Amino acid sequence: MPKGDGKTLAQNRKASHDYTIEETIEAGIELKGTEIKSIRRGSANLRDSYARVYQDEMYVYNMHIAPYEEGNRFNHDPLRTRKLLLKRKQIDKLFGESREKGYALIPLKLYIKNGYCKMLLGLAKGKKDYDKRHTLKAKEAKREMDRAMKGKY
């Protein structure tokens, strides 16, 4: 099964627009009981989140998981820092690569795989404005070609 397969619960669509994704890696995520219930309900947002190494552990910051409605006093803080579950070699490799200028670790997708919540992390390099315009022009040209081909047949 390729990485990233499973039931997608949240996706960072803006990441491919703002960044050039050079490498992806699958990571487990440490969650509390009401958090996983809320994620399964589809109440997670990855838009402004990022991952970083802190004291030899990988954490994800600014990932918003809405409070579970039936959770009463056992609910969690929606923006709390969550630990990612990776092997030591993976953490060291990502830490070294993300220290280079212009690189960041960006959560791309949150999904369920074999009953566990997983996150697809991308090693990304920020795009300049002219790169974004070029990507949009190429996408528009492809859309126009597809539209023209569809009309012929």
- CA–CA dist 64, 138 (Å, integer): 32
pLDDT tens readout for residues 9-64? 889 988 888 888 899 999 999 988 888 888 888 889 998 899 999 998 999 999 99
Q: Residue 73's pLDDT band (boundaries 50, 70, 90)?
A: confident
Q: What is the mean pLDDT of the chain?
A: 86
Helices (H), 12-128: 15-18, 33-40, 88-98
What pLDDT was estimated at residue 152?
Answer: 67
For the chain, domains (ranges, CATH) are: 7-127 (2.40.280.10)
Task: Look up the pTM and report it.
Answer: 0.76
Distances (CA, A) of 85 to 133, 141, 146, 153: 36, 41, 42, 50
pLDDT tens readout for residues 89-98? 999 998 888 8
| Percent of the chain whose predicted confidence (pLDDT) is above 70 | 95
- CA–CA dist 71, 120 (Å, integer): 27
What pLDDT was estimated at residue 99?
Answer: 85
CB-count burial class (<10 Å; 0-12, 13-18, 19+) for 96? exposed
State the maximum Cα–Cα separation within the chain, in Å, rounded to a whole number: 61
Name the nearest CA neighbour of 12 among 41, 36, 39, 44.
44
CB-CB contact of 111 with 14 (8 Å): no
The half-sphere exposure of 119 on its side-chain side, counting CA atoms within 13 A, is 31
